[in-house]
Structure 1
């Protein structure tokens, strides 16, 4: 019976969409979750039975490498105390099995939790290895761009935003309810279970400690009463959609703590289906992200302040350069000076656009961007964009294809223009010099769809779902030599959402990309 329970528990940990490595008391690998295998580019068969440091040695190319030593110290502390141990962010690269001798860069936020047997001895240790590589690298780029010291990154406490959704098979597999609940208490998140009807059947200890209530009192009080009132309706709507689609509903929400203050959480409500596709229960995973939100606010305030301070001198500098360019064109003289002035004006325009992008993002994060609809003709907007493009870009031709049928639309013209210019600018950056950029649009009954097509290298399928995320940049040879912080497409996405529209990309590697967005012909804002 104990062996069956242990097997079922390990099987659950393998399928939980979070990064777990399970090792024995002798530090030999028992199994690993699918998310961990993905993060380390390994297989379960390769890892099973190996000593943890045989499978994951230190990267000899790193100076003062200490990942293996630090992980071992944490594991030894767990073996000594039989208590969980939490670690700071670790740089611990993993071997690249496809290229022997090479290593894949990885940053982790690790913790180690012992699971004890009936005799009180350690049965196995759960290593929660949260892969935060992308977050650290993005923050490193931003820190470098602002001339901050890189070691400041070490002080940032990145939170685990990985999906802790527990895809648990039918509960009848667990004959020992006490063991099951004990295992759920070990998971570093607030976990809850509910019947398909919504009736809550379980809160783990993290929920009870956060609310300061017993299970019975929390049930009587009502789970939704802990939510901020602004999130109750979207949460209810999201649950209904998840129940229909079978896809977990993920949202950022505020929950009231013991002191009555609201704290931000990443909340995931996952419908669990049986073999026949029928929902048998809900599993909820709720992770506190308040510190992350506070860091984001500080960063956005900094970006907004710096961008605002830069805008005035840049505007003045641009005006002086425009005057100098006009004067140089009217006189005969040094052609090199004329060219230098014109190129300087182009660079100032690019810098101004970047600063405007930062300011727009800052306003966006602080909910200060307001959509102001007005009626306008799209072909006229396209003409203005084409004229601006000719004055600032000589490396690529822009082909504007106006619709055969023209309609007056009601939307925020300035914001739509910003989105189009952003997409066209990206197309220029990622297309070979001289390649044409195509911009077109067409109407359906209630919508207008815009398309911006480039001749770049294309975007891999695994990146297409992430490129509209904040600070996300595709790692390739072009992006390494191209300026940018991964905020342009995020800004475009948020503007289109505020128009109640959709934005997406159609692309295949080697065949270029077409960025598309759709907005209502006549937007109505609530």
Structure 2
């Protein structure tokens, strides 16, 4: 059985014509996991949140006797132990008055029906209860009257005594009449409130479905178990699949195989944290071709702030993705064509530099050295664009191998220190840490973080590099003493082509692709990358990788 408070169950449960609650078989608490509106109305608990409370919270010592508590406890235990329906003819536990200031005597007729799970054991009890107070009161009055009459007969009561008894009976009948009238009015009020609430829920459902069915945006609603309980007409139009086949987890079969695992992981992470999510996936349409959709999910909460599932929208972005692909293909082609003349140019300049050094022509050698450095920058920039193009076209490969992360970090740190003399780079020694990853690509991540630390911190400042094992992960950090990053820029820092525009960065070269590539490489290793920063004090960039890849 699915969780009893999912969206579809709760809607049907609230429309039941009898007051009911569902309790979990988690002795001795017996937690309430579902409660319909009718139960709250007959028990004067409207507006209270009964979900999550134990059954004893409804039958505590202030509202019931120890004997009543024991009877209820034994009935629940018997229903769970024997997997049988148990009925209690009449048990007293008082309910709060309408103004909530006191309690009123109340008797209840209750039935406990076991709900068996897939493992064959009782997991829940459906509890149906009826207020039989007026029947009990009538019977008590009748019993008292009968006993009194019998006593008067046995004692040969006088006519005066009989008259008094009759008066008492008349008074009792009058009180009983008033009690019945009060109960009748309460029942009428209760019925009217139920009708009103049912009408409100029905109208709200009609409005939502009219809106959802009339839009071209794909809309889906899922419950707390991630089962899809509703999808709109746009899903059927796009996929050609019957609505019933898309419910539950049936929608997975129309997702592109290359996107399926990533999208499921994105949804699962969001569900665990109850956070919104955004993803881009491909869905096969009724013609058998795939369309790109932008998926956005938002968590849903009820009036008591209890999580009830997600509502997700899917917008067609196929044309935009095709435009991006054409742009990436163009960038890739141009970048590749630029590499060939740059390689030749670099070769010629290296030859000229060697001749200038041999001829001890320091001016020419210095100029050629600067030209070589500019070619290196240009080559790095072209390689960055090529990597972006390969990444977004799915052509970039991750070739994992086992290596020592501490050795790689030390190697990249020494290389960075060798090619620059403006900053002091310090590598804090760490114990050997073995990881399964793509050594070259992780090396490029470290190199990029070091390059940024050099670019965005003043000359003469220290850059600190750390590598440490933390549980089942290895964590690498690069700390600088630069200008720092404003909080509003941190969220966008790893976006493609994003650059912080300020008077401090306007003269620093770059196209905003380095950190984007770092983030993509780390994520393809199932790792995490983030930054901590303070304005005027510097930034520390971190990334972590699982030890087993």
TM-score, normalised by the number of residues in structure 2: 0.57
SS in 2 for 1:425: helix
Q: How far does residue 522 in structure 1 lie from its aligned partner after superposition?
A: 4.6
Q: Deviations over 1:234-281 (max 9, x none)?
A: 545544443332113332222222322210111123330124332234
Match of 1:363 in 2: 390
Distance 2:232 2:390 in 1: 38
Assess if the C-alpha contact under 8 Å between 2:433 and 2:474 holds in 1: no
Q: Deviations over 1:6-37 (max 9, x none)?
A: xxxxxxxxxxxxxxxxxxxxxxxxxxxxxxxx
Match of 1:155 in 2: none
Match of 1:307 in 2: 335
1:429 aligns with 2:490: no
Match of 1:190 in 2: 218
Distance 2:450 2:471 in 1: 26
Distance 1:419 1:475 in 2: 23
- Residues 470 and 506 (structure 1 numbering): CA distance in 2 closer, same or farther, change over 3 Å? same
Equivalent residue runs for 1:411-490 within 5 Å: 411-490=437-516
Distance 1:212 1:317 in 2: 57
Distance 2:453 2:466 in 1: 14
Equivalent residue runs for 1:156-171 within 5 Å: none
**Greater RCO (CA < 8 Å, at least 6 residues apart):** 1
- Residues 388 and 321 (structure 1 numbering): CA distance in 2 closer, same or farther, change over 3 Å? farther
- Residues 259 and 382 (structure 1 numbering): CA distance in 2 closer, same or farther, change over 3 Å? closer
- Residues 518 and 355 (structure 1 numbering): CA distance in 2 closer, same or farther, change over 3 Å? same
Match of 1:49 in 2: none
Match of 2:412 in 1: 385
Q: How far does residue 291 in structure 1 lie from its aligned partner after superposition?
A: 1.2
Equivalent residue runs for 1:20-419 within 5 Å: 175-184=203-212, 189-197=217-225, 200=228, 202-211=230-239, 222-333=250-361, 335-378=362-405, 380-382=407-409, 384-390=411-417, 392-403=419-430, 405-419=431-445
Q: How far does residue 463 in structure 1 lie from its aligned partner after superposition?
A: 2.1
Assess if the C-alpha contact under 8 Å between 1:246 and 1:273 holds in 2: no
Distance 2:227 2:542 in 1: 42
Q: How far does residue 515 in structure 1 lie from its aligned partner after superposition?
A: 0.7
SS in 2 for 1:466: coil
- Residues 330 and 470 (structure 1 numbering): CA distance in 2 closer, same or farther, change over 3 Å? same
- Residues 490 and 238 (structure 1 numbering): CA distance in 2 closer, same or farther, change over 3 Å? closer
TM-score, normalised by the number of residues in structure 1: 0.59
CA RMSD, Structure 1 to Structure 2 (Å): 3.2
Q: How far does residue 505 in structure 1 lie from its aligned partner after superposition?
A: 0.7
Structure 1: tracts of 5 or more residues without a match: 1-170
Distance 2:357 2:386 in 1: 33
Assess if the C-alpha contact under 8 Å between 2:230 and 2:247 holds in 1: no
Q: How far does residue 230 in structure 1 lie from its aligned partner after superposition?
A: 4.4
- Residues 313 and 179 (structure 1 numbering): CA distance in 2 closer, same or farther, change over 3 Å? same
Distance 1:462 1:172 in 2: 42
SS in 2 for 1:427: helix
1:499 aligns with 2:525: yes
SS in 1 for 2:504: helix
Q: How far does residue 181 in structure 1 lie from its aligned partner after superposition?
A: 3.5
Distance 2:241 2:288 in 1: 13
Q: Deviations over 1:323-380 (max 9, x none)?
A: 33344334433x3323212211111111111111122222222222222234444555
SS in 2 for 1:479: coil
Q: Deviations over 1:390-418 (max 9, x none)?
A: 55434333333332x23454432211221
Distance 1:512 1:360 in 2: 29
Assess if the C-alpha contact under 8 Å between 2:409 and 2:446 holds in 1: no
Q: Deviations over 1:449-482 (max 9, x none)?
A: 2111222221122222221122222232233332
SS in 2 for 1:315: helix
- Residues 409 and 242 (structure 1 numbering): CA distance in 2 closer, same or farther, change over 3 Å? closer
Assess if the C-alpha contact under 8 Å between 2:484 and 2:534 holds in 1: yes
SS in 2 for 1:469: coil
SS in 1 for 2:477: strand
Q: How far does residue 232 in structure 1 lie from its aligned partner after superposition?
A: 4.5
- Residues 348 and 245 (structure 1 numbering): CA distance in 2 closer, same or farther, change over 3 Å? same
Larger radius of gyration: 2
Match of 2:52 in 1: none
Assess if the C-alpha contact under 8 Å between 1:346 and 1:392 holds in 2: no
Assess if the C-alpha contact under 8 Å between 1:196 and 1:280 holds in 2: yes
More divergent stretch after superposition (360-369 vs 343-352): 360-369
